[in-house]
Amino acid sequence: MTTFVFPTAATQIEKPVANQRATHALAVDEGVASAVRAGLSSEPKRLPPWLFYDAAGSRLFDEITDRPEYYLTRTERGILRAHADAMVARAADGARLRITELGAGSADKTRLLLKAAVARQGTVVYEPVDVSASALDAARERIEREIDGVAVAPRVMDYTHGNGRGLELTPTETGERRLVLYIGSSIGNFDPPEAMRLLHRVRAGLRPGDGLLLGVDLVKDEATLLAAYDDVAGVTAHFNLNMLARLNRELEAEFNLENFEHRAVWNRAESRVEMHLESRIAQKVQIAAVDLEVSFAESETIHTENSYKYRAGQAEAMLAEAGFAAAGSWTDERGWFVVCLGRAE
């Protein structure tokens, strides 16, 4: 799994909750409520992966990235560590570089590129884009403390939606190019048509000569893929089940977590790892804040995440289709992950 963009903050509504455990008004996030109402009323059942990332889920995801089975973060970090200077120089192409990151989160791996940019040009403007203002504040404080020469200009925005419009970013200055980062294999959480729409939107917000640095996970043996999403220590299982715990906390749901089990599945036909929550028994679950009763058959699942894995050359082809010329490609020695640079034509 990868770090997800959250939907734009929704209206908080004080809603009375009428179940046996609640005797007070509950602040219901309508974005969460709408997603749960739609997803658990659909067939098959599903929940969007951004629901993973409440405070508890974010901490668990950080733990996942340190698990030995989760190769994605350390493999991409190794590529960036080895090639950050070349990536920055290639993207700048003789100009001064401004760096924008989509779904920045904690911006951990990004520091390698920011240090390379500072070493090359003395200072750099860094524009992390996320819908979480608190995450952006934390990233700004950390980066400005740790890297001299970086001016952080955060932008609160849901970059995944735009009704055909490009990204709404501050225009670059004369003699400056923008490099957009979309790393962490975040593109893999979108199905292929959605991924293409996102790449087209990024391109629509750039000027010719600007760049997009895209990190994608590549297809590999099934055992390695599944282990990354089902670690022996059970951290990923806890992470997946925490989505139901979040619904208990925020929507006064009555999920018994012991009645659900984490499942990771390699869907070879779709070239994606899927995460599911499987009902161990036939059961009914009340979700009082959305006035919903959900029935589960034994072994029925809630589909919580897709992580698409790309074949060699596929990411470059997608960039070309979206209007980017190939400007560089870097991989690890095992060929497990690739970081591609496209230049807006």
What CATH number has the domain bearing residue 82?
3.40.50.150
Residue 305 within a domain: no
Residue 278 within a domain: no
Integer Cα distance of 47 and 58 in angstroms? 17
Residue 293 within a domain: no
Query: What does the pLDDT read at residue 127?
Result: 94
Residue 212 within a domain: yes
Query: What does the pLDDT read at residue 130?
Result: 79
Residue 166 Cα distances to 152, 173, 205, 286, angstroms? 22, 18, 4, 41
Residue 78 within a domain: yes
Q: How many domains does the chain have?
A: 1
Residue 329 within a domain: yes
Instruction: Report which of 283, 145, 292, 310 is spatially closest to residue 219, judged by C-alpha positions.
Output: 310
Coil, helix or strand at residue 286: strand
Residue 151 within a domain: yes
Query: What does the pLDDT read at residue 120?
Result: 97
Instruction: Report which of 167, 98, 178, 150 is spatially closest to residue 139, judged by C-alpha positions.
Output: 150
**Domain extent at residue 166:** 71-219+310-344
Query: What does the pLDDT read at residue 19?
Result: 44
Instruction: Report which of 173, 180, 168 is spatially closest to residue 205, judged by C-alpha positions.
Output: 168
Instruction: Report which of 319, 317, 323 is spatially closest to residue 345, judged by C-alpha positions.
Output: 323
Angle at 298 between CA 293 and CA 302, to 5 degrees: 60
Q: What is the pTM of this model?
A: 0.88
Maximum distance among all Cα pairs of the chain, rounded to whole angstroms? 66
Query: What does the pLDDT read at residue 2?
Result: 54
DSSP string, 192-212: HHHHHHHHHHHHHTS-TT-EE
Contact 266, 275 (CB under 8 A): no
pLDDT tens, residue order, the chain (345 aa): 655 544 444 444 444 444 444 444 568 889 899 999 999 999 999 999 989 988 898 889 889 999 999 999 999 999 999 999 999 999 999 999 999 999 876 677 899 999 999 999 999 999 998 777 777 888 888 899 999 999 999 988 878 776 556 677 888 989 999 999 999 999 999 999 999 999 999 999 999 999 999 999 999 999 999 999 999 999 999 999 999 999 999 999 999 999 999 999 999 999 999 999 999 999 999 999 999 999 999 999 999 999 999 999 999 999 999 999 999 999 999 999 999 999 999
Residue 143 within a domain: yes
